[in-house]
Amino acid sequence: MGSARSSPYSKYYPNLVVSLYFGKGDGEIFLIHDAETNMNKMVTCIDISTLYQEKRGSAVQMIQTLSSFKHDHLVTIEKYWIVPNYLLFVEMEAPDPVSQWKSFCKQTFTSDQTLDVLNQVVIALGYLHSQNYIHRDVHPSRI
């Protein structure tokens, strides 16, 4: 997975040693190794300082809501914390094995594999709907 390195966010996230950097999207995504649990975690760091105040509150509220959902077909948000008016950190479970995750996502699937993935997505969306939550931005890059 490459050599571990510190991050510019280390001063806000104790013992943040990055094993793998996934890049930027809505936030920067890092793979870290949690020495206490001996497990890999994905950490997304979102710069909320550029958002209007009400959007900051919405982002935090969304993470609070999503962290309450527990389902086999959803990535679990294990914890989150805020550096007031600046950063939002979200720690999630990491795919296992993470080293094969990107290549898995890029492979060509058989019809049966595609149906299996879509079935899992429908089950997960059904769970979210049963919790009175509607995901309005489902698209292939998030599956």
Q: Going residue by residue through the chain (143 aa), what tens digit of pLDDT does each one get?
A: 445 555 666 667 666 666 666 666 667 888 887 777 788 888 888 888 888 888 888 888 888 898 999 998 888 898 898 888 888 888 888 776 665 666 777 788 899 988 998 898 899 999 999 999 887 777 655 55
Predicted model pTM: 0.72
Angle among Cα 24, 26, 30 to the nearest 5 degrees reads: 45
Distance between CA atoms of 74 and 127, rounded to whole angstroms? 9
Nearest to 43 by CA among 96, 1, 88, 109: 88
Half-sphere exposure of 115 (CA within 13 A, CB side): 3
pLDDT for res 24: 65
* Total number of domains constituting the chain: 2
pLDDT for res 1: 45
> Which of helix, strand or coil describes residue 82?
strand
List, in sequence order, every residue forming a beta bridge with 82; answer none if it has no partner.
88
In a domain, 101, yes or no: no
One domain, residues 20 and 79: yes
Cβ neighbours for 88, distance < 8 A, ≥ 6 positions apart:
27, 45, 46, 48, 59, 60, 63, 80, 81, 82
Distance between CA atoms of 136 and 120, rounded to whole angstroms? 17
One domain, residues 69 and 117: no
One domain, residues 36 and 81: yes
In a domain, 103, yes or no: no
Taken in order 64, 70, 73, 78, the sign of the CA dihedral is positive
Q: Whole domain around residue 10: which residue ranges?
A: 5-96
